[in-house]
Amino acid sequence: MSIPFCNTSINRHRGVGMVEVLITIVIMTIGLLGMAALQITAVRGNQDGVQRSHATWLVQDLAERIRGNTTAYQDDMAGTARYVTSANAPDCTNRPATVCADYYNPLPSPGVKVNAVACTPAQMAAWDLWETSCPRPFNGFASGSPDYLNSGRVTSALVNGNYTLTVDWLCRNCENNGQRLSTSLLIRP
């Protein structure tokens, strides 16, 4: 007795479904890996964009501080160089003796607000450079700024009466390891 639905032509195609499934799995895997690589590249690019935005904010912050301290700005025009980092680099291991901004002291729990003292223009310039250039929180100050940049550095120079403020940092997504990106701002009187 023969079974009518079991003919030999069906037996010759045995395993074709499995091969099709394996090919589908391989194609799907390649597609998913490509999408994952694209996502990683997008995240890295986004990190560089965030770093550039933060550097731009930091340069603008220092520029506004310089513009706000008109006496120190005028002293710099006369050759004092209060806001020039090569002549007046902040000591990032210690905060300036005179604290020119309100802050919260975290040592007593909960934190206690400490009011700023009256500062001279020179003290304010030293404070501004310290707060924008030094990368670590210190005694309740989350100073800035370069904390959010990968090895960030803030520099300012005064040439022919114009300030050039520059922030540079290590690129996270560059092919050349150690490549530094930067953003600059020119302030004219």
Encode pLDDT of 3-16 as tens digits. Answer: 555 555 555 555 55
Residue ranges in the chain modelled with pLDDT below 70: 1-16, 105-109, 135-147, 175-176, 189
CA 1 to chain centroid, in Å, comes to 81
Q: What is the dihedral of CA 170, 171, 174, 176, to 10 degrees?
A: -10
- Rounded Cα distance between 139 and 127, Å, is 14
Q: If residue 73 lies in a helix (H) or strand (E), which one and from where to where? A: helix 70-77
Q: What is the pTM of this model?
A: 0.70
Query: According to the model, what pLDDT value does residue 13 have?
Result: 56
Query: According to the model, what pLDDT value does residue 58 have?
Result: 87
- State the amino acid at position 1 in one-letter form: M
Contact between residue 80 and residue 88 where contact means Cβ atoms under 8 Å apart: no
Query: According to the model, what pLDDT value does residue 143 have?
Result: 47
Query: According to the model, what pLDDT value does residue 106 have?
Result: 67
- Rounded Cα distance between 178 and 172, Å, is 9
- Rounded Cα distance between 21 and 66, Å, is 67
What is the chain's Cα-based Rg?
30
Query: According to the model, what pLDDT value does residue 14 have?
Result: 58
